[in-house]
Structure 1
Amino acid sequence: MTILNLRNLAALLVLSSAFSANAQTETTSPANTDQSSWFPSISTLYNSAVTTTENLYDNGRLSIILSGYTWHDPRTYSPAKRATLNADAWGFGVSKELRDAKDNEESIQILAISDSHFKPQINASYTYQWMKPIGGNWEIGAGVNAGLVSRTDIFNSIPFPGILPMFSVGTRDTKVTMTYVPHLSGSVNGNVLYFNLRVAVK
Structure 2
Amino acid sequence: MVAGRGKAWSTLVFSSAARADNPFTQLGDGVIERWNKSMAGSNQPYLPLETRHNRATYSRQAINRFNERPWGLLGYGKGYCDDHGNWQGFYAMVFKDSHMKWEPIAGYGSTWDWYTADRNWHVGLGYTAFFTAREDIMNYVPFPGILPLVSAGYKNLAVQGTYVPGRRGTGNVAFFWAQYTF
Q: TM-score, normalised by structure 1?
A: 0.74
CA contact (8 A) 1:113 1:122 kept: yes
Provide the residue aligned with 2:34 in structure 1. 52
Q: Distance in 2 between matches of 1:128 and 1:105?
A: 6
User: Match of 1:95, SS?
Assistant: strand
Q: Distance in 2 between matches of 1:101 and 1:55?
A: 12
Using the TM superposition, give the Cα deviation of residue 196 of structure 1 relative to its aligned residue in structure 2, in angstroms.
Answer: 0.5
Counterparts in 2 of 1:55 and 1:78: CA distance versus 1, 3 Å: same
Using the TM superposition, give the Cα deviation of residue 111 of structure 1 relative to its aligned residue in structure 2, in angstroms.
Answer: 0.8
CA root-mean-square deviation: 1.8
CA contact (8 A) 2:46 2:75 kept: yes
Q: Distance in 2 between matches of 1:41 and 1:105?
A: 24
Task: Please list every run of 5 or more consecutive structure 1 residues that lacks an aligned counterpart in the other structure.
Answer: 1-38
Provide the residue aligned with 1:87 in structure 2. 68
- 1:107-135 Cα offsets, whole Å, 9 max, x none, are 10001000001001111010110001145
1:131 corresponds, among 82, 90, 113, to 113
Using the TM superposition, give the Cα deviation of residue 156 of structure 1 relative to its aligned residue in structure 2, in angstroms.
Answer: 1.4
User: Match of 1:44, SS?
Assistant: helix
Provide the residue aligned with 2:135 in structure 1. 152
Task: Please list every run of 5 or more consecutive structure 2 residues that lacks an aligned counterpart in the other structure.
Answer: 1-20
Bigger radius of gyration among the two? 2
Provide the residue aligned with 1:8 in structure 2. none
- 1:64-91 Cα offsets, whole Å, 9 max, x none, are 1111211001001111000010001012
Residue identity (%): 31
- 1:31-81 Cα offsets, whole Å, 9 max, x none, are xxxxxxxx9433332233223212211x11001111121100100111100
Question: What amino acid does structure 2 have at the position aligned with 1:96?
Answer: K
Provide the residue aligned with 2:14 in structure 1. none
